[in-house]
Structure 1
Amino acid sequence: MDSSACKLYHVDGFDSREFLETYFSHKPEMVFGEDSLIFPIENLTKTFTAGHIKGEILIDLSTGPIIHHLYAACEFFKHIIVLKATDRCIMELKRWLDTRTGAFNWGHATQLHVDTEGNRDQLQVKEEKMRSAIQHVIKCDFEKENIIEPLDLPPADCIISAGLLDLISKDHNDYKRHLGKFSRMLNPGGHIILIGDLDAIYIRIGKNKMHFLRYDEDFARKALAGEGFVIDCCKVKETKVVSDLCDYKGIIFIAAHKGN
């Protein structure tokens, strides 16, 4: 498919609830759970419980209003700052944070986390800890050099970016440019965790087909090395999903730190 016919995530916007229902829900027909929920949760839990990544501030730069990937992190960081490109995503996220009627139900993801951690009776405690850890949700603009201009944030000890670079990057140079912006938001020696889809061209959200950057593991590794990162862990999972909703071939999880 010609990716030029697709809409651009942070420019054209999308239905954030449709996105959650299609790719992250607990519905029986939701076929992406092994890739979008289980694989990230298991790898994030292993990464954080190893004890090497921790600190004061974590910045989340991820697709849509997802929060499931932050459950493991909230045990190791005092402050989580979430940056979003659209008002719709911010509204959807705040609906969950404020426990408002109609909020997306992340109970299945919370259960996956507590099961993975071996704390099955800590479901409510985990959700409360997550809500208290996410202290700021800020709108950003990925076309600006300082994406939260005119604001400034203190340097982060860790950045998590799940799926976002895949969607906001028009080409490989754009990916590197955005990665460079993320890198400059980190403390020296800070960590970055990237989760992405490999060899994809598009993702369908409702009636819209959204642009997806096509890249492989080798490109992701070289892009990080080009920004001075040292890769600590890289896991790739080949997908078993066959769907016309998204044409990705696999999932990549990379944890890296800024070299001296």
Structure 2
Amino acid sequence: MDSSLYKLYHEDDFDSRQHLQNYFSANPDRISEEDSVIFPIENLKKTFTEGHIKGDVLIDLTLGSLVHHLYAACDFFKHIIVLKINDRCIMEVKRWVDERTGAFDWGHVTKLHGDIEENRDLLQDKEGKVRSALQHVLKCDLEKEDIMDPIILPLADCLISTWLLDVISKDQDDYMRYLRKFSSLLKPGGHIILLGALNITYYTVGNHKFHAFSYDEDFARKALVGEGFIIDRCEVKMRMDVNDHIDYKSVIFIAAHRVIKVGDDTR
């Protein structure tokens, strides 16, 4: 299929519930739990428990309606602000936060998180902590210079972006442009955590193929350094399973902090 015919996450209709069912459900036919669930949780747990990344505000800019990657963060931040670009994803997240009928069931991931932390007694408390911290799910506009205009957000101690840069970027210039916009939401010296899929060209949701930007570890590292970040952790895991739903070669986790410069906004 001609890649130019692939749909675009931020321009075409994206079925967030179908995406969750395909890649994150308890269904044994789901795609690559090892890469999409276990790898992020394990690396986030390691990163946060080191104690260097914590504070008042965490901003999340993530593909679809994912929340599982925030389980590890809720013990280290008072407030989690989730930003989405479409209403369907906002509705899906709010449905889970408010525990409404029909909300996606993350129970299997909560259990998995408990297994990784070796503390199953805190499972229910963990979901409650995430819901308590995650009180703001807001819409943003990626094409504005300030993606939250006219809303003014507090600058974040940390920003997490999971697979979003992969699916909104058409090329290297796009990736750098969006990364710069994301970075503007951080305090001086703030931390950024990126999870991505390397050497990917498409992923499927239902019967539709969506575009993904193909890049490698070297580009990801250089992009962050070019935006004034120092990389603190970088982990790459090769893909183990093969299927036609998505064609990435490996997954990457990068944690970095931004160098403080004279004149930086410290609000």
Deviation of the 1:13 alpha carbon: 2.7
Note the C-alpha offset of 1:2.
Answer: 3.2
Match of 1:136 in 2: 136
Structure 2 residue runs without a partner (length 5+): 261-267
Helix, strand or coil at the partner of 1:14: coil
Determine the structure 1 residue equivalent to 2:223. Answer: 223
TM-score using structure 2 length: 0.96
Q: For residue 135 of structure 1, what is the amino acid of its counterpart?
A: Q
**For residues 147 and 109 of structure 1, what CA distance do their matches in structure 2 show?**
31
Deviation by residue 1:96-131 (Cα, 9 ceiling, x = unmatched): 111111110001111121221121111110010010
- Would you say 1:84 and 2:84 are equivalent positions? yes
Amino acid in structure 2 at the alignment position of 1:121 = D
The whole-number CA distance in structure 1 between the counterparts of 2:3 and 2:234 is 27
- 3-state SS of paired residue (1:179): helix
Counterpart of 2:107 in structure 1 is 107
Alignment of 1:63-212 (within 5 A): 63-212=63-212
Matches of 1:22 and 1:31, distance apart in 2: 6
The superposition leaves residues 32-88 of structure 1 with CA deviations (integer Å, 9 ceiling, x where unpaired) of 100000000000000001100000000000000000000000000000000001100
Deviations 1:187-231 (A, max 9, x none): 010000000000000011011111100000000000000000000
- Give me the whole-angstrom Cα distance separating, in 2, the residues matched to 1:172 and 1:235: 21
Matched, 1:28 2:34: no
Partner of 2:42: 42
* Contact map agreement 1:159 1:186 (CA 8 A) in 2: yes
Q: Residue 255 of structure 2: SS of its match in structure 1?
A: strand
Cα contact 1:13–1:86 (8 A) shared by 2: no
Conserved? CA contact 1:202–1:247, under 8 Å: yes
Unaligned runs of 5+ in 1: none
CA distance in 1, matches of 2:210, 2:116: 32
Distance 2:5 2:227 in 1: 31
Q: Give 3-state SS (helix, strand or coil) of 1:122's partner.
A: helix
- Structure 1 segments of 4+ aligned residues over 4 angstroms from their partners: none
The CA distance in 2 between the partners of 1:132 and 1:209, in whole Å, is: 35
SS of the residue aligned with 2:120? coil
Match for 2:7: what amino acid?
K
Structure 2 Cα separation of the partners of residues 40 and 3 of structure 1: 28
- 1:55 corresponds in structure 2 to 55
Structure 2 CA distance for aligned equivalents of residues 141 and 66 of structure 1 = 19
Q: Is the 8 A contact 2:96 2:103 kept in 1?
A: yes
Work out the CA distance in 1 between the residues paired with 2:100 and 2:258: 39
Report the identity percentage: 65
The question of whether the paired residues in 1 share the 8 Å contact of 2:24 and 2:31 is answered with: no
Whether the aligned pair in 2 keeps the contact of 1:3 and 1:212 (CA below 8 Å) is no
SS at match of 1:10: coil
Kindly indicate whether the alpha-carbon contact (under 8 Å) linking 1:41 and 1:112 is maintained by their aligned counterparts in 2: no
Q: What's the CA shift for 1:31?
A: 3.2
Question: SS of the counterpart of 2:121?
Answer: coil
CA deviation profile, 1:107-164 (whole Å, cap 9, x unmatched): 1111121221121111110010010000200001111111111111111000000000
- Whether the 8 Å contact between 2:58 and 2:79 is mirrored in structure 1 is yes
> What CA distance in whole angstroms lies between the structure 2 residues aligned with 1:51 and 1:220?
24
> 2:74 touches 2:133 (CA, 8 Å); kept in 1?
yes
SS in 2 for 1:252: strand
Q: Tell me the residue number matched to 1:255.
A: 255
In structure 2, how many angstroms separate the alpha carbons of the residues matched to 1:27 and 1:76? 31
